[in-house]
């Protein structure tokens, strides 16, 4: 990932160190030993390289993620990080390796720059697809790690076991399909409100409906389950909660709300850490942040105003089966944080367009020389 300001990447990692949630394992190609380096020294080491090429103002912020079953000592993680940097052609670059301990899986962050000693930049085009992918495969084999292919297969098998297909109205036995979805979601997910429950149910084209405030359904604490079409619109005849054998009524769900309050807290730190990191790492690319989170089983759910601005955000963790609102996870994950990413993305895209126009003008000028 490319970060425009090296200071942001360093501050993120150094703040984690200060909080006791990370430790710096390696300071490669610095003039001082790691234990003698101050945060200012670390920044200065990168700044010297950036000063060699004023046309490039970027740094590289890399993450190496491992499976929870990979038991890695600091020394082994250090070896892996050093081998990875060698394999992608960054062995001679200054770089810092930070091990983070605030997530459910081992991982480290590497901060570096692609400006060489002579001021020339290392070519980054397709580095992720080519050098990085080859390095991953080599390291997984060398250190006996759980491979990406193995994790993908486990995920696919898991989806076969408890994955359900979204309901399509018009199919046979619609009530039975709704029943299967309701039983699976209400029994397995940690939701603490009807809104959170609906966040998951809508993935399967189902919604729990209390009726409008003041209606008889609402006043009598009734609950209906309705099927949604591909556009999220209600379709067909709703079914009363009491129709289903396991009775997903409002009264029974409210008991679940209370029970789930403490259960979902066990996953809060994991979800918050993953969301904060992806929004930070992809601070001008919301689509990429969402895609990276989805690979780890976390889905971003956005609510938008008519003008397209972010009205609200929720996160569904399919791995741990819990739902959090952005506000529950804090100011780095709420709708304001999402809106900041959206705004940064617009600025970034505008700057890119301006750079492209400038390059076209320079090319036209050179052709007339």
Position 161 scores a pLDDT of 46
Least confident of 125-134, 150-159, 255-264: 150-159
Residues 34 and 145 in one domain: yes
Position 360 scores a pLDDT of 46
Position 235 scores a pLDDT of 92
CATH assignment at residue 42: 3.30.930
* Banded pLDDT at 226 (limits 50, 70, 90): very high
Position 1 scores a pLDDT of 39
Separation between Cα atoms, residue 203 and residue 206, nearest integer Å: 8
Q: Is residue 181 part of a domain?
A: yes
The whole-number average pLDDT for the span 70-78 is 94
Tell me the sheet residues that pair with 65.
107
Residues 256 and 275 in one domain: no
What range does the domain containing 227 cover? 164-263
Position 27 scores a pLDDT of 97
Residues 258 and 299 in one domain: no
> Among the three residues 203, 234, 263, which one is the final residue of a domain in this structure?
263
DSSP 3-state of 310 = strand
Could you tell me which residues come within 8 angstroms of residue 320 by beta carbon, excluding any fewer than 6 positions away?
190, 266, 267, 270, 271
Q: Is residue 159 part of a domain?
A: no
Separation between Cα atoms, residue 60 and residue 130, nearest integer Å: 17
Position 68 scores a pLDDT of 78
* Banded pLDDT at 352 (limits 50, 70, 90): low
Residues 104 and 137 in one domain: yes
Written as six digits, the tokens of 203 are: 């993935």
Q: Is residue 220 part of a domain?
A: yes
Q: Is residue 157 part of a domain?
A: no
Position 125 scores a pLDDT of 81
Residues 259 and 272 in one domain: no
Position 55 scores a pLDDT of 75
Residues 111 and 250 in one domain: no
Q: Is residue 53 part of a domain?
A: yes
Q: What is the DSSP letter of 65?
A: E
Q: Is residue 320 part of a domain?
A: yes
Residues 179 and 302 in one domain: no
> Among the three residues 130, 152, 174, which one is the final residue of a domain in this structure?
152
* Banded pLDDT at 368 (limits 50, 70, 90): very low
Residues 94 and 211 in one domain: no
pLDDT digits 0-9 by tens, 153-210: 665 555 554 567 888 888 778 999 999 999 999 999 999 999 999 999 998 999 999 9
Residues 250 and 340 in one domain: no
> Among the three residues 125, 152, 179, which one is the final residue of a domain in this structure?
152
Residues 140 and 187 in one domain: no
Q: How many CB atoms lie within 10 A of CB 101?
A: 11
**41 vs 30, 48, 157, 281, 317, CA distance in Å?**
9, 11, 48, 23, 39
Tell me which residue of 105, 121, 114 sits closest to 67, measured CA to CA. 105
Position 297 scores a pLDDT of 86
**Domain count for the chain:** 3
Q: Is residue 365 part of a domain?
A: no
Q: Is residue 366 part of a domain?
A: no
- Has residue 3 got a pLDDT over 90? no
- Has residue 266 got a pLDDT over 50? yes
Residues 13 and 30 in one domain: yes
Residues 246 and 218 in one domain: yes
Written as six digits, the tokens of 97 are: 């390796």
Alpha-carbon torsion 228, 234, 239, 241, what sign?
A: positive
Position 93 scores a pLDDT of 95
For the question of whether the overall pTM of this predicted structure is more than 0.75, the answer is no
């Amino acid at each position: 990932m490319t970060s425009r300001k090296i200071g942001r990447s360093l501050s993120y990692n150094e703040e984690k160190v200060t909080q006791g949630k990370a430790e710096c394992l390696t300071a490669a190609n610095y003039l001082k030993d790691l234990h003698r380096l101050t945060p200012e020294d670390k920044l200065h080491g990168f700044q010297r390289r950036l000063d060699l090429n004023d046309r490039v103002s970027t740094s590289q912020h890399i993450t190496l993620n491992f499976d929870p079953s990979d038991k890695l000592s600091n020394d082994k993680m250090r070896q892996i990080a050093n081998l990875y940097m060698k394999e992608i052609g960054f062995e001679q670059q200054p770089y810092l390796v930070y091990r983070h301990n605030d997530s459910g899986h081992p991982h480290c962050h590497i901060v570096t720059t692609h400006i060489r000693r002579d001021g020339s930049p290392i070519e980054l085009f397709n580095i992720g697809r080519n050098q990085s992918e080859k390095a991953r495969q080599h390291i997984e084999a060398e250190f006996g790690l759980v491979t990406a292919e193995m994790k993908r297969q486990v995920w696919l098998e898991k989806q076969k076991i408890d994955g359900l297909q979204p309901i399509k109205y018009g199919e046979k036995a619609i009530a039975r399909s709704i029943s299967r979805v309701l039983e699976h979601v209400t029994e397995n997910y940690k939701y603490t409100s009807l809104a959170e429950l609906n966040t998951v149910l809508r993935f399967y084209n189902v919604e729990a409906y209390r009726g409008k405030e003041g209606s008889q359904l609402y006043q009598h604490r009734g609950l209906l389950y309705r099927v949604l079409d591909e556009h999220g619109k209600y379709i067909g005849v709703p079914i009363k909660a009491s129709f289903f054998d396991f009775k997903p009524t409002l009264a029974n769900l409210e008991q679940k709300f209370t029970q789930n309050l403490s259960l979902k807290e066990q996953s809060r730190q994991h979800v918050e850490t993953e969301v904060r990191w992806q929004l930070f790492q992809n601070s001008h690319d919301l689509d990429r942040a969402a895609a990276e989170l989805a690979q780890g089983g976390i889905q971003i759910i956005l609510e938008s105003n008519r003008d397209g601005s972010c009205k609200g955000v929720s996160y569904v963790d399919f791995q741990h089966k819990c739902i959090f609102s952005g506000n529950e996870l804090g100011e780095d994950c709420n709708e304001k944080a999402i809106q900041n990413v959206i705004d940064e993305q617009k600025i970034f895209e505008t700057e890119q367009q301006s750079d492209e126009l400038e390059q076209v003008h320079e090319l036209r000028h050179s052709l007339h020389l």
